[in-house]
Structure 1
Amino acid sequence: MKRLIPLLLLLPALASAQERGEVAFNKACAQCHQARTPTEKSTGLLGSRKPVGPYMDQVLRRKSLVEVRTWVESPHRINPKTNCDTRLLSRDELDGLTNFLATVAVAPQPSRRMMLRKQMTEQVAARDARDKAEAKAKSQPKNQGKK
């Protein structure tokens, strides 16, 4: 219980940091990007608006947070032709934006094929280790070390 109380006291601070990151995203990125890929197509009166830039959850599947942070800090150093302008973000807003993007990044579910491949690799490794141990046990004489 003693450990739980400080954590409960930190929850509002974490929520406000999340909100600051979302505000920073809306301020600097939302003109061209959306945080998450829409799960379903929604068509309003004017149809659906696709962002100019990629969805950030998809970017974070390919790039690390450090790489995205480097981009956000100085996009024109990486790509001089970019329209991305993040000069007005303070250091605190950059931190909040990075934390917000970390919550956006949801690891994709591995495909069935990848799961089966992983399972097969683990089973083959276990079988090889077992066979190696059995071969080592058979190669040693039973009365070794006895006088």
Structure 2
Amino acid sequence: MTLLLLLLAPGLASAQAGGQTAFRKACARCHIARVDAPETKARPRSNLVGRYAGAGPNLGELLPKRNLSQVRTWIDAPYKVKPGTGCDTRLLAEADKDRVISFLVSRTQPPTKRRDVAARQELEKGIAERREQQARRKQDPKNPPKQGSK
């Protein structure tokens, strides 16, 4: 298995590099593909779309919200999905479209839990475990309830 991964690694790396090249050619004029921390606030939209990289949606954050069919439909004909868009993918070859999608998938990660959500879930789990232990103690005839406990 390890040997297979070692043999495939150069091909995967070159495929990702090809996707990055295609992304730079067709998308990087307006978009970035980066996954920011979940706590990062959304960038305000402006009328500067197309004037600098990052002016359009961050595709690293957008891809987890779309399925691959939706992404492919957009890449094939963005003007059909959103008339008047400045996104122009007509010069991308079919193979480059696939490479762009592969590159975007490689740039996205499943969102991590926010710390406060994770802490709350951990706290609720601990409370549930303590309640379960208390219920078992009450049912165990060998351990009578302590004086003053409910």
**Fold match (TM-score > 0.5):** yes
Which residue of structure 1 lines up, in the alignment, with residue 73 of structure 2? 70
Deviations 1:62-117 (A, max 9, x none): 33444323211221111011010111112211111111101111233311222134
Asked if 2 retains the 8 angstrom alpha-carbon contact of 1:65 and 1:102, the reply is no
Aligned in 2, Cα 1:124/1:38: closer, same or farther, shift over 3 Å?
closer
SS in 2 for 1:53: coil
**In 1, are the aligned partners of 2:29 and 2:53 still within 8 Å (CA)?**
no
Provide the identity percentage.
39
- Cα displacement string for residues 7-27 of structure 1 (whole angstroms, at most 9, x for unaligned residues): 211111101100110011011
Alignment of 1:29-68 (within 5 A): 29-36=27-34, 51-68=54-71
Give 5+ residue unaligned stretches, structure 1: 40-48, 131-147
Structure 2 residue runs without a partner (length 5+): 38-51, 134-150
> How big is the alpha-carbon RMSD for the aligned residues of Structure 1 and Structure 2?
3.2
Cα displacement (A) at 1:37:
6.2
Per-residue CA deviations over 1:35-74 (Å, capped at 9, x if unaligned) read 22689xxxxxxxxx66220222222243344432321122
Output the amino acid matched with 1:11: A
Note if contact 1:24-1:96 (Cα within 8 Å) is conserved in structure 2. Answer: yes
1:6 aligns with 2:9: no
The answer as to whether partners of 1:36 and 1:56 remain within 8 angstroms in 2 is yes
Q: Which moved more, 1:88-97 or 1:111-120?
A: 111-120
CA contact (8 A) 1:32 1:51 kept: yes
**Structure 2 counterpart of 1:93:** 96
Q: Distance in 2 between matches of 1:121 and 1:79?
A: 44
Between the aligned partners of 2:69 and 2:110, the Cα distance in structure 1 is 16
- Give the match's secondary structure for 1:36: coil
TM-score (normalised: structure 2)? 0.65
* Structure 1 residues 65 and 118: alpha-carbon distance in aligned structure 2, compared to 1, 3 A threshold: farther
Matched, 1:83 2:86: yes
Per the alignment, do residues 75 and 123 of structure 1 end up closer, same or farther by CA in structure 2, a change over 3 Å counting? farther
2:20 paired residue number: 22
